[in-house]
Structure 1
Amino acid sequence: MNTQDPELKRLIDQVRSTHKALNIQGGNTKHFYGEMSHGEVLDMRPLSGISSYEPSELVVTVRAGTSLFELEARLAEQGQCLPFEPPRFAEGGTVGGMVAAGLSGPSRASVGCVRDYVLGTTVLNAQGEVLTFGGQVIKNVAGYDVSRVMAGSLGVLGVICEVSLKVLPIATATATRMFTMDEASALAQLNTWAGQPLPIRASAWHHGQLHLRLAGAQAAVKAACAQLGGTAIDPEIAASWWDNVRDHQHKFFHLDNNHLAKGEHLWRISVPATTPALGLQGTQFIEWGGAQRWLRGQATVKQVRAAAVQAGGHATLFRGAAPRTEVFTPLSAPLLRIHKGLKAAFDPRGIFNPGRLYPGL
């Protein structure tokens, strides 16, 4: 990126001149996620636009303040998409926020997560230096790991200014089948299907119903529908249903501080897909072939984290009443040292989103 670009220069000047904490903010659609944010707002929205797009190379380079809706619309014109389906919690979400949050949608288990598609990043550090990692082509792996570290960092390491992403063609055929079964049966069936050559793109179980989305070549999807059976869902209805799951507009996710039952929280629990029912109090929504289990209820932090650890996973307090504390599973001492080392290297002044990922970081 050109450091003389007016909007980038504005960010550089604000970072260099501040002596306060900076709250890196795009559309602010994920304000509920992570620990409480504070500090002077560093507005990323003016730093917007698609820098380059090569459909034949399946690569797009985008400025951080670019609207996620704008990017997806541009990709759709070329029959391409962000296959990991980043959640769009509200209008105004940005590409930088998408990478910083590191969240993926229903297809994550079959296609990979956000960081798998990050090829390169341009980052502004606490000294006001513009650093570039990675590249714009898939075969260029120089600095690749640094770019991937930015995904899910919630802005505590630096300001993501631009990102290069791998994109994929939209599937030529899709179909959704619905099955009526209890949680244990659904988990067992999903694990059976996982061992078969089926074009499963997403799965979701809730309240006795298992939805299965198939995607790929027309012949493969047609053959899978015939093999699996179940109830066929109208394509338009299915597309809307999966969008609601992706964007947390499904009624299960309608959880905010105006509608919370006393002590109720929304947990995101990550466990091996083969894990049996966790037996926690509350209502569940299960995705990713059984690997992601949303829990809505009044189970305590201790109960949820103990169940997750016993299963070999971890739990994140995704939404809940303020003040938010212990959002992410506490790090072990070795991992905490690594996180602190990265923070010290990229942000020795501790000005970028302090405490947003972990208290004291």
Structure 2
Amino acid sequence: MKNRLNHLMNLFCVFAPLSFLNAQETTQKAEYVIMISCDGLRPDAVEFLGPKWAPNFYRLINEGAHTHNARTDFDYTITLPNHTCMLTGRGVVGETGHAWTENNTPKIGQMIHRNKKAYVSSAFDVAHDHGLRTGLFSSKDKFVVYDLSYNERSGKPDTTGEDNGKDKLDDYHHNDKTEELIKTYMDSLQKAPYGLSMLHLRDPDTSGHAHGWDITSKSIYIYAVSKMDWIVGKLLQFIESNEKMKGKTALILTADHGGRLETKTHTKSDEKLNFTIPLYVWGAGVGAGLELYEINPNTRKEPGEINPTYDLAEAQPIRNGDIGNLALYLLGLPSIEGSTINAKQNLKVKKSKD
């Protein structure tokens, strides 16, 4: 009996450290997550530029997990409805949808919950209620709807642990000029990093509406996409030079919609060029050189050239609405209350063995 106990103890000593290491690997999370929305970014524009002219987008591809065949919401391919999908983990319409269909600067008294006739929780709610600092930096003034919806008057009381208040969005900042906006954002990060933040960049959409989504070498649209690559590069450089954030930050980049050359718009939700968007994930907790559909064969289905409805029994495509709960997963936090997109937080961004 004594020899048997000694044998079992020896086995425990051998395998217990391995189990501990595996547990550490599965629970490793980012301390900071940055969600970036490049408004109107088409994935084929990134492919057109290639690694030579879009080195920072390709750094996200080579060092992280990505797809160039993600989807917008099924019913809407416009800005505010899709950003609300990103932040709430819900589609737009239906009983479980967030119901925000407006795309203009909100009028006095307008907010997401009043439109829905019920409180609609966001990723900012979860992060802030768990004690994290939150921020939204936008290049369109209509994003004030999120500040109005999640401020000290309209936010939901915090019932999670210590009371961090009803104001779920610590900082909201707007500037139409993205080169100034990114500087303000990085200055704020330098003072104190946000646990969860969103950066909205308008340039591809602005140029698309003015000149069309023109995928040619000298087009204004391609120049705007190149500017996005430059901003991504500036942000990556900042993260890696900041001792607090280096190695502890994850970045998620996607778009709210694409757009067409002929119409100079993106309102038709059944147009492939409108509903096809990229999604990139990079940094802490993320594997390298991975294609997202390939590592999620059981929970996501490559949609080909269609945008499937939400009510299909089979697996959904990867959507921009995945990113709110993905960000929370990387932070080690639970999913958004009432969310239906990635509510199980089962969108993998690294292989199981990584």
TM bucket, shorter chain: under 0.3
- With CA pairs under 8 Å and 6+ residues apart, which has the higher RCO, 1 or 2? 2
TM-score by length of 2: 0.27
Instruction: Name the one with the larger strand percent.
Output: 1
TM-score by length of 1: 0.27
Instruction: Name the one with the larger helix percent.
Output: 2
